[in-house]
Structure formats: C-alpha cells, structure tokens
Chain A
Amino acid sequence: MLFNTISFAFFLPLVFLLYWFVFNKNLKLQNILLLVSSYFFYACWDWRFLFLLIFSTLLDYYTGLKMCDAKNKSKKKFWFFLSVSLNLGFLGIFKYCNFFIDSFAGMISNFGFKINPYTLNVILPVGISFYTFHGLSYVIDIYKDRIKAEKNFIDYSVFVSFFPLLVAGPIERATHLLPQIQKKRTFDYAGAIDGLRQILWGLFKKVVIADQCASYANQIFNNSADQSGSNLVLGALFFAFQIYGDFSGYSDIAIGTARLFGIDLLRNFAFPYFSRDIAEFWRRWHISLSSWFRDYLYIPLGGSQGGIWMKVRNTFIIFIVSGFWHGANWTFIIWGLLNALYIMPSIIFNTHRNNLDTVAQGKLLPSFKEIFLMTVTFSFTVFAWIFFRAENVTHAFSFISGIFTISLFTIPTVTPLILFALIGLFIIIEWIGRQNQHAIAHFGSSWPKAIRWSFYYLIIAAIFYFNGAEQQFIYFQF
C-alpha cells in the first residue's frame, strides 16, 4: 500500500478511529492493533515477504533476549554475531547477490575468461534495508549495553514494523521509539493537527513536485543521447527535485501519520537544498541514515579520534557504504565516493561544523554570500545525482559528457512552464518555513482561518489535479 493511494486514504482513518475510540483504554490492544495494521499494510504489497519480516523480527527479539541473559562475554558475542550475520545475510541475498555475481563475472572476463554467471531471480522485498537497520541498531545497542532487551514481543514487533516507517524509514532507534511504544499515549490535538499539515505537505511534494519532475527527468535520462546539453542540465535538475520531493515527501507523510497516533518519529530531512556546504547538506539529508552510519559505523571505526587520516579513511568508508546501501550498482558507490570527495576539504581543514545553524536565521532573505554558497553546494549535489539516477556508469559518463558540449548554451527544448512555476512556489514556501520542522508548520498561522483553509484546499486541489498514475516512491527499491 502506498501513502499516495486511495486505499491508504481509507486505511488510515479506519486504523485511527479504532486506535483512539475502540482500543484507547488498553495499551496492549492499541499495540496489537498497530501491529496487525502494519502487517496488513505490508501484505498489501506482497504477503509472502511478510514471513521474512516476521522472521527478521523474531531473530532480533530472540537474540536480544539471549544477549541479555548471556552469562559471559563470549556467549553474548556469539548471539550478537549470529544476529548481525543473519540480518546482513538476508540483505546480501535479496539485495546484493546478483551484483556480486555480475561484478565477479565482469572481472573474470577482463582476464580473458568467459563465464555464464547464474544469477538469482529474486524480488527485492520492500523496506528490507530499513527494517534490517532497525533490527541491527537494536542488537548493537544491546551488545554495547546501551539498552536492555525488550521482553514484550508485541512492543518489539511494533518498533520494527510500525507501518508509517516500515518501508522507507525514518530509520528509528530503539532508545527513541521503544519507550514511546511502551507507555500509554495521550491524544495531542495540536500535534495531530500539525501531523495532518505535514501529511498534506508530504503529499504535495510527492504528487505535485516529485511525480511531475519524474516524467521530465525520465524522458531526458531515458533518451540522454538525443538531448542537448541544456536539456541534460534540466534533466539533472528535475531529478534533484524529484528525489527530494519523493523521499522527503514520504518522510513527511510517515512522521505526520505517526503523530496522529501520538508517536514522534525521528526527523529525516531539514531543507537540505538550503545548505551552505556539503557537510551541512549531509546533516540535513536523510538524517536518520546519516546518523545511523555515524553511530554504528563511523564512531566504532574510531571516528575522528585517531587524527586526520583516520577521519579521512572513516569518512570514505561511511560514504561508500552509504552509497552501497542505496543499491547494488556501481553508480551508487560512485555517488557515495563523489560525496566523500566533496566533503573531504571540510574534513581536512576542520570546517565541517561551520554551518550548524539555519541559513539566514531570523531573516527574510539570504545574503549574497549565502546565495553563492547554497548555489555551489546545490550544483555539486545535482552533479552527484546524475550517478544516482543513471542506469549504469557508462550512462552517467555519457550523460555528463553530453552536458559539456556547445549545446549547453542553447535554449532547452523541454520547457514545462507550469512545472517551473510549481517548483518556484515550492522553493518559496520551503524557504519561508525552513526554521520549522516542516515547511507549512507555521505557514499562514497568523492568517484568518478562511484564508488558511483556502491555502490548504489549494494544496489539495493541486494534489487531486496532478494525481495521475500513482507513482511508487523511489526509496521503496532500497
């Protein structure tokens, strides 16, 4: 089930009403309802993979308990490695197996040997990267004695499978989400209303911005050989807005939905395209994944404790792993590598924490310097997105070489004026709301109710109008 479908528009109110009106007096029943709804939500995609999700949940639940009960360090280590290796094993089989087989066959053929590799015909289970990382953070935290194992299986299962975050995050931590699941939730009117606003803005980003940009980005990327340099630049720009609208839109809907149930999820995006350097961009883009890698990979590898070269090495490692997490393709690895190179000067010169505040805080407009820095950062990001979107490395390089031709200075033939206007409006609203949790959290809060509601109706009308074929979210494939 997708958030941008009619089915979800019926599913969500039904679960909401049952949650607050039928099961509101009993926390256990509320959690059972959340679990059943989450499994139903997942089964709507493919019920067979529900068993994989349940198995993964059982594995981490059981190994978590075993680690807590372990009488000595070696037993604890045994259960920990069992859990980690099985989790990564499943991820490897479903996501990376064919990549390794193909890459190995490619390498062998470079030495003159020809083999016909046997690849597996597997479907990538939706959300496997997300719920595996949920589970991993849980067992790592137990192993490091940061938390105790959860004894209540229902509570733990809700932590892993809570439907708003099940298929594309935010990647939650046990320390943040489990306590909320264990305690009785009370309905928060202001939070719920703001949750609805966040859902609305998320849908706008997905349906109006991302899906409309997608049709042009696909058109340009799929026929890149026939496009002028200026069209290719537009294609890359459209993809930059597509992926931002798509993924941050999903996160907004997920966070807003969770708030309706009295649960706060981790923030995942904080207006990343208004960043003044790449380090700031990575503090604002897919925050739950970046912080996951920081806490469970970068710091265990030594973080920045071992001097500058240790920092450089660890930064490269997390960016390459992060690229690889996104998909089994060299394009993602190069995308990660490219971002590591971008961030390297600020790591070496220790300027990566220069921009911790929001750009032009308390001001209406940015300074020229800020505009320049944001433009440069955005341009570097868009360039890297070319690798992220390309079918393969050859495609990415031919796309880039197509940009740097004389046709770069021609007028683009793709000129969707309505889409340009929509993107412009979108950027203005995001800019105005950049200091809040989401763009329309306080947008128009001082306006009379009738005008504010008219603004919401306009957003709804745009969603209706642009809601063609319901497009899947990009991050479902990860």
Chain B
Amino acid sequence: MKKFIQYLILFNIPIVFFLVLVELYCRTQTTFALNKNYLENNLGNIETLILGSSHSQNGINPEFLKSKSCNLAFGGQPISIDYFLLDKYVLQMKNLKTIFFEVSPHRFYNELNPKDWNGHIYSNLYDINYKVERFSIKKYSFVLSDVRYISTIFINNFNPKLPKPELNEFGFMKNNYQGRFSKLNNDSIKINKTFKMNHHFDNQENLKQNIVFLKKIIEKCKKNNIKIIFLGTPFYQTYSSKIPLKSEIQINNLLTHFSSKYKIPYYDLAKSKRFNLKDFVNDNHLNPDGAKKFTLITNNLETHYSQQP
C-alpha cells in the first residue's frame, strides 16, 4: 500500500503542479481576473461601465476613455449576466454616471444562461451562479471549472506561434491582431468567400426573455440615476450582411421603441463606413487599432450625452 501511495503521489506531482500554476495564472494574469481586480479596486471611482459580449470586450479599450471606466463585457456574455453584474455592484459604484450597453443583435437571440465554459468564470469571480450545482468544486477553482478552456488560455500563453497576450491594467489585450483576417493575409476576396456565420438570429423565446432583462437593466439605471447608451459595435461587411434582415429590423424596432420610451440614446455603428478591413481581427471583432477608433467615438458620445439633461 505504501508503495502504491508513493507511486500515486509521484505520478500526480506534475499534474497538480500544472493545475496550481494554471489556477494562479488565471487568478492574476487573465483578462477576466484583471477586469475584476480593476473593478474592485476602483469601485467608488468608476464613472463609465461597459456591458456586453466579446464585441465590446475587443472593441472598447478603457485606456482611451476620458472618464474612469471599466469594461465588464466578456465573450458570450448574456444580457442576464449584464444585469446580475450591474445589480451586484451598482450600489457600490457611487460615481457611476454612464453605461454603454452593447446591442449587437445576436445577444437578443442568445440563451439566457452562459455556456459552461464562461459560466464558471462568473460563478468563481462574481459569485453569480447560473446553475445550481450541489457539491461542486467548480465554484471554487477556475482550472477545475473548465480544464479545457482554462488550460488552453494558459498553454496559448506559451505558444511561440501566438503573441504573448499583452494586457493593460483594464484587462484589454493590446496586441490582439492574430485572427481569421491575419491568417488570410487580409485578403478581402478570401475573407468574403470563407465567411461562416456563427451566430443565430431566430429564437423568439430567448428574445422575450432577454427583453425582460433589458427592461430590468434600464429600470435599475433609472432608479440609480445612471445614463444608459445603447451601442451597436462595428462589424465587417461579411458579418453585417449575413444578419437576416427580418431579425435586424426586429431588433432595430425594439431598440428604437425603448430608446424613445425611456429617452435612451441609441447609436449603431454596425455598418459604419468609418471602419475598414484593417480595423478588424475577424468578421465581428475589432483589433486594437479599430478598438482605439471606436473607443474615441464612444468618448465623444459620452461627452455629448453627458451635457444633455
């Protein structure tokens, strides 16, 4: 038995070492960890908050915003999580004046719950439990919550073919230039030919449920005297042209309705000509140059609307 235990310990040392290393890395070096640290260290000072999906995560670099800002947008983040994040911190953000709320159409047709791969991040970092799991160790450890996703982030860090992620203090990746477009040498013909839409725009049941959470966010902002701005992030033409017209109109009508009912500025740059191929890392995500451009526009928007009553 003694020999067996020795064997087990010896065999498992490298595995445990690897997992501990990844866990530490995730808790200190990743975009979501840095985001959270920044948020909690500056809670009382934050004036602008960004809520949304990877479109805003990659599209807005708080470094270029004049006001003290925090970008809480994250890949695949559902509108329900936007609400839960806001609900969790709104009372502590004494200085919060503006929220940029991303209104990319796919978000309204997505499921209310996050997927497993990102859901545990909210559970671990923000104690937002999207599903109740009894006896689950996943609530306490990043690496155990989704070994594949978390390990991939860690391993990519050491992949010589990929640039080592350079994150600023806001968790924004400053060298995020490698993607589908760079792989195709920014060749627009190839880009057009090989595009495949990875979002769905048809689930009406999800739409109904997401509207409920959108209303909750608006009410929360009104109650706390926070200005909310609907923001449509820029897309490359491959992506924007493949959004079904019916869905585009449906979301546009919905947002126009909310915009006039609650007097919410609605600014949509989805098809803006100001952004060209060189501003994108892929069909629906800006690269850091595009993000700088887009952030400066939002900056102007913020200044403009903050002067209005």
Q: Using CB atoms and an 8 Å cutoff, list the residues of chain A in contact with chain B.
A: 6-7, 10, 20, 44, 187, 189, 192-193, 196, 453, 456-457, 460, 464-469
Q: How far is the CA of A453 from the CA of B7 in the complex (A)?
A: 11
A44 touches B134 (CB 8 A): yes
Q: What's the least CB distance linking B51 to chain A, in Å?
A: 26
Q: What's the least CB distance linking A110 to chain B, in Å?
A: 35
B147 touches A464 (CB 8 A): yes
A468 touches B7 (CB 8 A): no
Q: What's the least CB distance linking B115 to chain A, in Å?
A: 8
- Which residues of chain A come closer than 8 Å to B40, judged between CB atoms? none
Q: What's the least CB distance linking B76 to chain A, in Å?
A: 14
A and B contact pairs by CB, cutoff 8 A, 23 listed: A6-B137, A6-B138, A6-B144, A7-B136, A10-B137, A44-B134, A187-B4, A189-B3, A189-B4, A192-B4, A193-B4, A196-B8, A457-B14, A460-B15, A464-B147, A465-B151, A467-B147, A468-B116, A468-B117, A468-B146, A468-B148, A468-B149, A469-B116
Q: What's the least CB distance linking B142 to chain A, in Å?
A: 12
Mask, B180-205, CB within 8 Å of A = 1, is: 00000000000000000000000000
A7 touches B14 (CB 8 A): no
| Most chain A C-beta atoms within 10 Å of own C-beta, residue among B4, B7, B117 | B4
Q: How many A-B pairs fall under 8 Å by CB?
A: 41
B7 touches A193 (CB 8 A): yes
B11 touches A453 (CB 8 A): yes
Q: How far is the CA of A350 from the CA of B135 in the complex (A)?
A: 54
- Which residues of chain B come closer than 8 Å to A189, judged between CB atoms? 1, 3-4
- Which residues of chain A come closer than 8 Å to B137, judged between CB atoms? 6-7, 10
B151, closest chain A residue (CB): A464
- Which residues of chain B come closer than 8 Å to A10, judged between CB atoms? 137
- Which residues of chain B come closer than 8 Å to A192, judged between CB atoms? 4
Q: What's the least CB distance linking B146 to chain A, in Å?
A: 8
Residues 143-187 (chain B) with a chain A CB within 8 angstroms: 144, 146-149, 151-152
A460, closest chain B residue (CB): B15
Q: What's the least CB distance linking B113 to chain A, in Å?
A: 12
Q: A6-B138, A468-B117 are in contact. Are A187 and B1 (CB under 8 A)?
A: yes
- Which residues of chain B come closer than 8 Å to A196, judged between CB atoms? 8
Residues 10-29 (chain B) with a chain A CB within 8 angstroms: 11, 14-15
Q: A44-B135, A193-B7, A457-B14 are in contact. Are A466 and B148 (CB under 8 A)?
A: yes
Q: How far is the CA of A286 from the CA of B304 in the complex (A)?
A: 71
- Which residues of chain A come closer than 8 Å to B115, judged between CB atoms? 469
